[in-house]
Amino acid sequence: MKEETVIFVGGTGLIGSHVLKNLVTNNNKIYNLSRRIIKNYSENTENILFNFDDTSSDMNLPDCDHVFISIGRGLRLWELIYIRKQDRKDHFRIEHDYVFNIAKKAKELGANNLSIVSAVGANSDSSNFYLATKGQIEESLKNLGYENINILRPGHIITNKRRGDISLAVWLIDLFFKLTNPFLINSLRKYRGITLKKVSEFMANEKMAGIKIFHYDDFIK
């Protein structure tokens, strides 16, 4: 891949931390935005303490070619189905407003490429608040004028971690998808669980060419 200057958001998260490691090996110049300083992976990664609630026009971002966004509100498992009304404002602020404000400012500074982790089933008209928010941010980003946008819509992320390294609930869900993936066929294939390794490598290395949405079959090709 061509060397790029990158703004990265979400480097401390499950997917983001693995994407960041893959980007480092590509010798990109990376600015990692975070609420706290994390250990540099290499000399070409610079951590920037960032206030995500800053919506001012003079938001302090460096010039870049490509924005990678893998940020999200920490969810309880049941919130994938239902988010309480009192939590929705905070959820929308993190999942939509934070993402939109950063992407908008980066575009103003010259970025033309944007890669973001969304979710399978994202739809702005969904009755599921989680999926509706994912759909709304996708639509908002498409209207910013980026030449190229890669939107990843993975299903459940299979960590392949040992039982002692993750919670029982996550381990059981990982196991569930490992067992049921073969039965999700045809139009249901996109709902298959996908390994963390496959998704992170895809996000870091997929070429940019217009506005594209990717599902399970794209990640495993």
Label residue 207 exposed, middle or buried (CB < 10 Å: 0-12, 13-18, 19+).
exposed
Check whether 64 has a pLDDT greater than 90: yes
Positive/negative CA dihedral, 210, 146, 11, 79: negative
How long is the chain? 221
Q: What percent of the chain has pLDDT over 90?
A: 71
- Torsional sign, CA 66, 145, 12, 168: negative
Q: Is the pTM for the entire model greater than 0.75?
A: yes
Tell whether the model's pLDDT for residue 1 goes beyond 70.
no
pLDDT of residue 56: 65
pLDDT of residue 173: 92
Tell me the C-alpha to C-alpha distance, in Å, between residue 70 and each of 77, 167, 182.
18, 22, 28
Ordered domains of the chain (ranges, CATH): 5-157+196-215 (3.40.50.720)
Average pLDDT value over all residues in the chain: 92
Averaged pLDDT for residues 185-189: 97
Is residue 101 scored above 60 in pLDDT? Answer: yes
pLDDT on residue 191: 97
Q: What is the pLDDT of residue 42?
A: 77
Listed residue (10, 110, 104) closest to 65, CA to CA: 110
Residue 38 has pLDDT above 90, yes or no: no
The pLDDT assigned to 41 comes to 66
Q: What is the pLDDT of residue 97?
A: 95
- pLDDT above 80 for 29: yes
Report pLDDT digits (tens) over 134-147.
999 999 999 999 99
